[in-house]
Amino acid sequence: MTVIEVFADVTCPFTHVGLRRFVERRMQLGRKDVVLHVRAWPLEIVNGEPLDAHFIAEEIDDIRAQIAPTMFAHFDEASFPSSSMPALVLAAAAYEVGLPTGERVSLALRDLLFERGEDISDAGTLHRLAVEHHVPLDLSDPHRVLADHTEGVERGVVGSPHFFTPAGGFFCPSLDVHRDAGGHLRITADERGFDQFVSTCLG
């Protein structure tokens, strides 16, 4: 089995797009032998403060308008979590059960947040998801998340999402994201970069 590592924050909308694109391409190619290991890159630790819900909502508006009109259909700014740590704790615990379980939970958390508008810092929501996937959960123990962050720093992670493949590292390979001279967010699908990235993972 080929394992593709991704350091990312569960509340990063660009990661949600990138993971969706990767999973869709993997399905098209029938590559069930390739699995994602989504590691924690907690931006509230990296930046020294939690992500701002309104700022993320504006980014999502730009993403929908420019490249992904069918995604983020029921995102709710009011339900944006005050911290990503509880969800990252669950994702890390799921990977202790197994790689397939960890991937399913990592994707499910993002679906709950970005497609269903649920608060993924809510303990009830997280425990429900843990039970559905048979994951033992202790939300008071963030040691796996903190260990991922430390390892990410050591490996030169530059942001969310940062993929590591057998050929090397790729930061946000599915999108070209920048701000223009007026400070407006510009997002385009980086097809060449994505194809290059996918070829190192899926052949």
User: In sequence order, what DSSP letters do the residues of 43-56 get, joined into one string?
Assistant: HHHHSSSPPPHHHH
CA distance 190 to 174: 5
Domain boundaries 2-202, corresponding CATH code: 3.40.30.10
Residue type, 60: I
**One digit per residue, pLDDT tens: the chain, 203 residues?**
899 999 999 999 999 999 999 999 999 999 999 999 999 999 999 999 999 999 999 999 999 988 899 999 999 999 999 999 999 999 999 999 999 999 999 999 999 999 999 999 999 999 999 999 999 999 999 999 999 999 999 999 999 999 999 888 999 887 777 777 767 778 887 788 888 888 888 76
Asked whether the beta carbons of 41 and 149 are under 8 A apart, the reply is yes
Domain assignments of the chain as residue spans, ordered by start: 2-202
Q: Which two tokens stand for residue 165?
A: 């493949």
CA distance 15 to 87: 15
CA distance 17 to 45: 22
Residue carrying the six token digits 């796996």: 144
Q: For 118-153, what is each residue's pLDDT tens digit?
A: 999 999 999 999 999 999 999 999 999 999 999 999
pLDDT of residue 38: 99
pLDDT of residue 113: 99
pLDDT of residue 181: 74
Prediction pTM value: 0.92
CA distance 16 to 73: 13
